[in-house]
Amino acid sequence: MDGYTPGEQPGIGERVVKLNTNENPFPPSPMVLRAIKEVEPEMLRRYPNPNADVFRTAAAKVLGITPDMIIAGNGSDDILTIATRTFLSPGDLLAYPDPTYSLYSVLARLQDAKVAEVSWERDYSLPIDGFLAAKPQAIYIANPNAPTGTFVSPLKIAELAKAFKGLVLVDEAYVDFADDSCLALVKQHENLVISRTFSKAYSLAGLRIGYGIAQPKVIAEMMKVKDSYNVDAIAMCAAAAAIQDQEYAREKWEQIKNERERVTSELTQLGWDVLPSRANFILAGAPDGRGREAYLGLKAQGILVRYFDRPGLTDKIRITIGQSQENNALLGGIRRISATEKAA
Protein backbone atom coordinates (compact mmCIF):
# COMPACT_ATOMS: atom_id res chain seq x y z
CA MET A 1 0.00 0.00 0.00
CA ASP A 2 1.02 3.65 -0.36
CA GLY A 3 1.53 5.58 2.86
CA TYR A 4 0.47 9.18 3.52
CA THR A 5 2.71 11.75 1.82
CA PRO A 6 3.33 14.75 4.11
CA GLY A 7 4.05 18.22 2.64
CA GLU A 8 7.66 19.23 2.01
CA GLN A 9 9.59 20.54 5.04
CA PRO A 10 12.65 22.64 4.18
CA GLY A 11 15.72 22.38 6.42
CA ILE A 12 15.80 24.65 9.51
CA GLY A 13 17.33 27.97 8.41
CA GLU A 14 16.61 27.35 4.71
CA ARG A 15 15.03 30.57 3.46
CA VAL A 16 11.68 29.89 1.78
CA VAL A 17 8.24 31.43 1.98
CA LYS A 18 6.50 28.39 3.39
CA LEU A 19 2.83 28.29 2.46
CA ASN A 20 2.41 24.54 1.91
CA THR A 21 1.37 22.78 5.14
CA ASN A 22 -1.16 25.11 6.74
CA GLU A 23 0.95 26.02 9.75
CA ASN A 24 0.13 29.23 11.60
CA PRO A 25 2.47 32.05 10.49
CA PHE A 26 2.58 33.62 13.98
CA PRO A 27 4.63 32.39 16.96
CA PRO A 28 2.82 30.59 19.80
CA SER A 29 1.54 32.61 22.77
CA PRO A 30 4.25 33.84 25.20
CA MET A 31 2.37 31.87 27.87
CA VAL A 32 3.27 28.67 26.03
CA LEU A 33 6.98 29.48 26.09
CA ARG A 34 6.72 30.32 29.78
CA ALA A 35 5.00 26.99 30.54
CA ILE A 36 7.75 25.11 28.68
CA LYS A 37 10.49 26.93 30.63
CA GLU A 38 8.78 26.01 33.89
CA VAL A 39 8.99 22.26 33.19
CA GLU A 40 10.87 20.66 36.11
CA PRO A 41 13.58 18.01 35.41
CA GLU A 42 11.52 15.68 37.64
CA MET A 43 8.66 15.92 35.13
CA LEU A 44 10.97 14.64 32.39
CA ARG A 45 12.48 11.88 34.50
CA ARG A 46 9.09 10.38 35.27
CA TYR A 47 6.43 9.08 32.88
CA PRO A 48 3.79 11.70 32.17
CA ASN A 49 0.22 11.50 33.39
CA PRO A 50 -1.25 8.90 30.98
CA ASN A 51 -4.42 10.87 30.26
CA ALA A 52 -2.85 14.35 30.02
CA ASP A 53 -5.15 15.52 32.82
CA VAL A 54 -3.65 19.02 33.18
CA PHE A 55 -4.51 19.58 29.55
CA ARG A 56 -7.97 17.98 29.74
CA THR A 57 -8.92 20.08 32.76
CA ALA A 58 -7.77 23.33 31.14
CA ALA A 59 -9.42 22.54 27.81
CA ALA A 60 -12.70 21.42 29.41
CA LYS A 61 -12.97 24.74 31.26
CA VAL A 62 -12.40 26.80 28.10
CA LEU A 63 -14.80 24.67 26.03
CA GLY A 64 -17.55 24.47 28.69
CA ILE A 65 -17.56 20.65 28.83
CA THR A 66 -16.32 18.04 31.33
CA PRO A 67 -12.76 16.57 31.19
CA ASP A 68 -14.21 13.06 30.64
CA MET A 69 -15.48 14.29 27.24
CA ILE A 70 -11.88 14.86 26.07
CA ILE A 71 -9.09 12.55 24.95
CA ALA A 72 -5.64 14.01 24.21
CA GLY A 73 -3.43 12.77 21.39
CA ASN A 74 -0.03 13.16 19.78
CA GLY A 75 -1.48 15.57 17.22
CA SER A 76 -4.98 15.15 15.84
CA ASP A 77 -3.63 12.49 13.47
CA ASP A 78 -3.24 10.35 16.61
CA ILE A 79 -6.91 10.98 17.48
CA LEU A 80 -7.90 9.94 13.94
CA THR A 81 -5.80 6.77 14.30
CA ILE A 82 -7.31 5.98 17.71
CA ALA A 83 -10.87 6.53 16.41
CA THR A 84 -10.26 4.32 13.38
CA ARG A 85 -8.78 1.53 15.52
CA THR A 86 -11.60 1.84 18.07
CA PHE A 87 -14.58 1.92 15.74
CA LEU A 88 -13.63 0.16 12.49
CA SER A 89 -13.04 -3.59 12.19
CA PRO A 90 -11.38 -5.35 9.26
CA GLY A 91 -13.85 -5.51 6.35
CA ASP A 92 -15.87 -2.51 7.57
CA LEU A 93 -16.53 0.46 5.29
CA LEU A 94 -15.38 4.04 5.94
CA ALA A 95 -17.07 6.78 3.89
CA TYR A 96 -15.75 10.30 3.41
CA PRO A 97 -16.40 13.07 0.93
CA ASP A 98 -14.04 13.41 -2.01
CA PRO A 99 -11.70 15.25 -2.16
CA THR A 100 -10.64 15.43 1.47
CA TYR A 101 -7.69 14.85 3.83
CA SER A 102 -5.82 11.94 2.24
CA LEU A 103 -4.87 10.36 5.59
CA TYR A 104 -8.41 8.91 6.02
CA SER A 105 -7.95 6.33 3.26
CA VAL A 106 -4.52 5.34 4.62
CA LEU A 107 -5.95 4.81 8.12
CA ALA A 108 -8.81 2.69 6.75
CA ARG A 109 -6.43 0.49 4.78
CA LEU A 110 -4.15 0.04 7.80
CA GLN A 111 -7.21 -1.29 9.62
CA ASP A 112 -8.06 -3.58 6.66
CA ALA A 113 -11.27 -1.59 6.20
CA LYS A 114 -12.70 -0.54 2.81
CA VAL A 115 -13.42 3.01 1.73
CA ALA A 116 -16.34 4.69 -0.04
CA GLU A 117 -15.31 8.03 -1.57
CA VAL A 118 -18.51 10.04 -2.02
CA SER A 119 -18.22 13.14 -4.23
CA TRP A 120 -19.15 16.46 -2.68
CA GLU A 121 -22.30 18.06 -4.09
CA ARG A 122 -21.51 20.64 -6.80
CA ASP A 123 -21.66 23.51 -4.28
CA TYR A 124 -19.59 21.55 -1.73
CA SER A 125 -22.60 20.86 0.46
CA LEU A 126 -22.70 17.55 2.35
CA PRO A 127 -23.61 14.48 0.20
CA ILE A 128 -25.89 13.01 2.90
CA ASP A 129 -27.83 10.73 0.51
CA GLY A 130 -24.58 9.46 -1.00
CA PHE A 131 -23.21 8.62 2.44
CA LEU A 132 -26.35 6.75 3.50
CA ALA A 133 -26.53 4.87 0.19
CA ALA A 134 -22.94 3.60 0.69
CA LYS A 135 -24.06 1.89 3.97
CA PRO A 136 -20.72 2.47 5.79
CA GLN A 137 -19.91 1.80 9.45
CA ALA A 138 -18.28 5.24 9.84
CA ILE A 139 -18.21 8.62 8.08
CA TYR A 140 -15.29 11.08 8.39
CA ILE A 141 -15.84 14.74 7.47
CA ALA A 142 -13.18 17.45 7.68
CA ASN A 143 -14.98 20.71 8.47
CA PRO A 144 -13.61 23.08 7.18
CA ASN A 145 -12.54 20.59 4.54
CA ALA A 146 -9.00 20.15 3.26
CA PRO A 147 -7.91 20.90 0.59
CA THR A 148 -11.00 22.90 -0.46
CA GLY A 149 -11.39 25.11 2.65
CA THR A 150 -15.17 24.81 2.28
CA PHE A 151 -17.43 24.58 5.33
CA VAL A 152 -20.70 22.72 5.88
CA SER A 153 -23.28 23.88 8.37
CA PRO A 154 -23.29 22.02 11.73
CA LEU A 155 -27.07 21.70 11.18
CA LYS A 156 -26.38 19.42 8.19
CA ILE A 157 -23.96 17.36 10.26
CA ALA A 158 -26.60 17.04 12.97
CA GLU A 159 -29.06 15.84 10.31
CA LEU A 160 -26.54 13.20 9.22
CA ALA A 161 -25.69 12.14 12.79
CA LYS A 162 -29.43 11.59 13.39
CA ALA A 163 -30.09 9.65 10.19
CA PHE A 164 -26.94 7.51 10.43
CA LYS A 165 -26.37 5.01 13.23
CA GLY A 166 -22.57 4.56 12.90
CA LEU A 167 -19.71 6.86 13.88
CA VAL A 168 -19.66 10.39 12.46
CA LEU A 169 -16.20 11.86 12.98
CA VAL A 170 -15.88 15.59 12.34
CA ASP A 171 -12.26 16.65 11.87
CA GLU A 172 -12.20 20.26 13.08
CA ALA A 173 -8.46 20.87 12.50
CA TYR A 174 -9.29 24.27 10.94
CA VAL A 175 -12.46 25.16 12.82
CA ASP A 176 -11.05 28.23 14.59
CA PHE A 177 -10.81 30.00 11.24
CA ALA A 178 -14.55 29.37 10.63
CA ASP A 179 -17.52 30.99 12.37
CA ASP A 180 -19.23 27.92 13.83
CA SER A 181 -18.42 24.40 15.07
CA CYS A 182 -20.04 21.07 15.98
CA LEU A 183 -19.10 21.30 19.67
CA ALA A 184 -22.68 21.89 20.83
CA LEU A 185 -23.85 18.77 18.95
CA VAL A 186 -21.75 16.30 20.94
CA LYS A 187 -24.09 16.33 23.94
CA GLN A 188 -27.06 15.40 21.73
CA HIS A 189 -25.42 12.78 19.48
CA GLU A 190 -23.55 9.88 21.06
CA ASN A 191 -22.26 8.77 17.64
CA LEU A 192 -20.41 12.06 17.07
CA VAL A 193 -16.65 12.45 17.67
CA ILE A 194 -14.81 15.71 17.00
CA SER A 195 -11.06 15.89 16.49
CA ARG A 196 -9.08 19.11 16.95
CA THR A 197 -5.46 20.16 16.87
CA PHE A 198 -3.00 22.72 18.25
CA SER A 199 -1.03 22.59 14.98
CA LYS A 200 -3.02 25.26 13.13
CA ALA A 201 -4.90 27.69 15.37
CA TYR A 202 -2.35 27.65 18.22
CA SER A 203 0.94 27.65 16.22
CA LEU A 204 2.12 24.36 17.77
CA ALA A 205 2.54 21.95 14.85
CA GLY A 206 6.04 21.06 16.07
CA LEU A 207 4.79 20.16 19.57
CA ARG A 208 2.37 17.46 18.39
CA ILE A 209 -0.84 17.71 20.38
CA GLY A 210 -4.47 17.36 19.43
CA TYR A 211 -7.63 16.13 21.14
CA GLY A 212 -10.93 14.39 20.59
CA ILE A 213 -14.32 15.39 22.01
CA ALA A 214 -17.23 12.97 22.47
CA GLN A 215 -19.63 11.71 25.12
CA PRO A 216 -17.82 10.18 28.16
CA LYS A 217 -18.66 6.56 27.31
CA VAL A 218 -17.27 7.01 23.77
CA ILE A 219 -14.09 8.64 25.12
CA ALA A 220 -13.73 5.73 27.58
CA GLU A 221 -13.62 3.28 24.64
CA MET A 222 -11.01 5.37 22.81
CA MET A 223 -8.88 5.54 26.00
CA LYS A 224 -8.56 1.72 25.89
CA VAL A 225 -7.04 1.89 22.41
CA LYS A 226 -4.53 4.75 22.73
CA ASP A 227 -0.87 4.22 23.63
CA SER A 228 -0.42 4.51 27.41
CA TYR A 229 1.69 7.70 27.25
CA ASN A 230 0.67 9.21 23.92
CA VAL A 231 1.17 12.85 25.01
CA ASP A 232 4.48 13.97 26.50
CA ALA A 233 4.88 16.00 29.70
CA ILE A 234 5.93 19.18 27.88
CA ALA A 235 3.17 19.04 25.27
CA MET A 236 0.36 18.70 27.83
CA CYS A 237 1.52 21.75 29.84
CA ALA A 238 2.22 23.85 26.74
CA ALA A 239 -1.18 23.06 25.21
CA ALA A 240 -2.94 23.86 28.50
CA ALA A 241 -1.24 27.30 28.45
CA ALA A 242 -2.10 27.82 24.77
CA ILE A 243 -5.82 27.14 25.15
CA GLN A 244 -6.00 29.38 28.23
CA ASP A 245 -4.62 32.34 26.26
CA GLN A 246 -7.73 32.82 24.12
CA GLU A 247 -7.11 36.54 23.74
CA TYR A 248 -3.76 36.01 21.98
CA ALA A 249 -5.09 33.18 19.78
CA ARG A 250 -8.24 35.03 18.72
CA GLU A 251 -6.33 38.12 17.69
CA LYS A 252 -4.14 36.01 15.38
CA TRP A 253 -7.18 34.19 13.92
CA GLU A 254 -8.73 37.55 13.01
CA GLN A 255 -5.52 38.66 11.26
CA ILE A 256 -5.34 35.39 9.30
CA LYS A 257 -9.02 35.63 8.31
CA ASN A 258 -8.54 39.22 7.08
CA GLU A 259 -5.49 38.19 5.06
CA ARG A 260 -7.43 35.22 3.64
CA GLU A 261 -10.08 37.58 2.28
CA ARG A 262 -7.43 39.95 0.86
CA VAL A 263 -5.47 37.16 -0.92
CA THR A 264 -8.73 35.66 -2.24
CA SER A 265 -9.82 38.98 -3.69
CA GLU A 266 -6.42 39.80 -5.23
CA LEU A 267 -6.06 36.36 -6.80
CA THR A 268 -9.60 36.57 -8.17
CA GLN A 269 -8.70 39.88 -9.81
CA LEU A 270 -5.71 38.12 -11.41
CA GLY A 271 -8.12 35.61 -12.98
CA TRP A 272 -7.68 32.76 -10.47
CA ASP A 273 -10.73 30.73 -9.42
CA VAL A 274 -10.67 30.69 -5.60
CA LEU A 275 -13.13 28.64 -3.52
CA PRO A 276 -14.59 30.60 -0.57
CA SER A 277 -12.54 29.34 2.37
CA ARG A 278 -13.27 29.10 6.09
CA ALA A 279 -9.79 27.74 6.85
CA ASN A 280 -6.27 29.19 7.02
CA PHE A 281 -5.62 28.23 3.40
CA ILE A 282 -7.27 28.62 0.02
CA LEU A 283 -7.63 26.32 -2.99
CA ALA A 284 -6.97 28.36 -6.10
CA GLY A 285 -7.50 27.30 -9.72
CA ALA A 286 -4.92 28.67 -12.19
CA PRO A 287 -6.35 30.83 -15.02
CA ASP A 288 -4.59 28.59 -17.60
CA GLY A 289 -5.54 25.39 -15.72
CA ARG A 290 -1.87 24.52 -15.14
CA GLY A 291 -1.54 23.91 -11.40
CA ARG A 292 1.73 21.99 -11.54
CA GLU A 293 3.42 24.77 -13.55
CA ALA A 294 2.22 27.38 -11.03
CA TYR A 295 3.54 25.26 -8.15
CA LEU A 296 6.92 24.79 -9.87
CA GLY A 297 7.11 28.45 -10.94
CA LEU A 298 6.56 29.55 -7.33
CA LYS A 299 9.01 26.95 -5.99
CA ALA A 300 11.69 28.30 -8.34
CA GLN A 301 11.18 31.67 -6.63
CA GLY A 302 11.51 30.14 -3.13
CA ILE A 303 7.75 30.06 -2.44
CA LEU A 304 6.35 26.69 -1.37
CA VAL A 305 2.65 25.91 -1.93
CA ARG A 306 0.96 22.48 -2.17
CA TYR A 307 0.10 20.76 -5.44
CA PHE A 308 -2.01 17.59 -5.53
CA ASP A 309 -1.39 15.35 -8.52
CA ARG A 310 -4.83 13.76 -8.54
CA PRO A 311 -7.95 14.00 -10.69
CA GLY A 312 -9.97 17.17 -10.10
CA LEU A 313 -7.05 19.02 -8.47
CA THR A 314 -4.35 19.24 -11.18
CA ASP A 315 -5.45 22.74 -12.26
CA LYS A 316 -5.18 24.04 -8.67
CA ILE A 317 -2.70 24.89 -5.92
CA ARG A 318 -3.40 25.06 -2.19
CA ILE A 319 -1.97 28.14 -0.52
CA THR A 320 -1.57 28.55 3.26
CA ILE A 321 -2.34 32.08 4.44
CA GLY A 322 0.83 33.59 5.86
CA GLN A 323 1.69 36.93 7.44
CA SER A 324 1.03 39.86 5.13
CA GLN A 325 4.63 40.07 3.81
CA GLU A 326 4.54 36.37 2.92
CA ASN A 327 1.21 36.79 1.17
CA ASN A 328 2.62 39.76 -0.74
CA ALA A 329 5.58 37.59 -1.79
CA LEU A 330 3.13 34.97 -3.03
CA LEU A 331 1.06 37.50 -4.99
CA GLY A 332 4.28 38.97 -6.46
CA GLY A 333 5.44 35.46 -7.41
CA ILE A 334 2.15 34.74 -9.16
CA ARG A 335 2.29 38.04 -11.05
CA ARG A 336 5.83 37.19 -12.20
CA ILE A 337 4.70 33.76 -13.45
CA SER A 338 1.88 35.31 -15.52
CA ALA A 339 4.22 38.01 -16.88
CA THR A 340 6.75 35.34 -17.96
CA GLU A 341 3.99 33.29 -19.60
CA LYS A 342 2.67 36.32 -21.48
CA ALA A 343 6.19 37.20 -22.71
CA ALA A 344 6.79 33.61 -23.91
Contact residues for ligand PLP, defined by CB under 6 A: 22, 75-77, 101, 142, 146, 171, 173, 197, 199, 205, 210
Report in angstroms how near the CB of residue 95 gets to ligand PLP at its nearest.
Answer: 16
160 vs 201 by CB, closer to ligand PLP: 201
Taking the least distance from each CB to ligand PLP, the nearer of 82 and 274 is 82
Q: Which is nearer to ligand PLP, 54 or 146 (CB)?
A: 146
Spatial separation of the C-alpha atoms in residues 328 and 324, rounded to whole Å: 6
Nearest approach in angstroms of CB 339 to ligand PLP is 32
Residue 72 to residue 64: CA distance in whole angstroms: 16
Q: Least separation, in Å, of the C-beta of 132 and ligand PLP?
A: 23
Other Cβ atoms within 10 Å of 47 Cβ, number: 10
CB of 335 to ligand PLP, least distance (A): 28
Q: Which amino acid is at 231?
A: V
- Which secondary structure element, helix H or strand E, spans residue 283, and what is its range? strand 281-285
Q: Which is nearer to ligand PLP, 234 or 331 (CB)?
A: 234
Nearest to 60 by CA among 50, 68, 48: 68
The C-alpha angle 86, 188, 72, rounded to 5 degrees, equals 40
CA dihedral 302, 305, 308, 312 (to 10 degrees): -120
Whose Cβ is closer to ligand PLP: residue 99's or residue 297's? 99
With a CB cutoff of 8 Å and minimum separation 6, the contacts of 291 are: 285, 307, 313, 314, 315, 316, 317
- Nearer to ligand PLP by Cβ, of 172 and 326: the residue is 172
Grouping H, G, I as helix, E, B as strand and the rest as coil, residue 110 is helix
Please report which helix (H) or strand (E) contains residue 170, including its range: strand 167-171
- For 8, 14, 15, 16, 18, the CA distances from 11, given in Å and listed in that order, are 10, 5, 9, 10, 11
30-37 helix and 233-244 helix, angle to the nearest 10 degrees: 150
Q: Which is nearer to ligand PLP, 22 or 327 (CB)?
A: 22
| Least CB distance to ligand PLP at residue 316 (A) | 16
**In 3D, which of 318, 327, 336, 334 has the Cα closest to residue 282?**
318
Rounded to a whole number of angstroms, the minimum distance from the CB of residue 141 to ligand PLP is: 10
Q: Which is nearer to ligand PLP, 76 or 86 (CB)?
A: 76
| Smallest distance, ligand PLP to C-beta of residue 77, A | 3
End-to-end CA distance of the chain: 42
Write down the least CB distance from residue 22 to ligand PLP, Å.
5
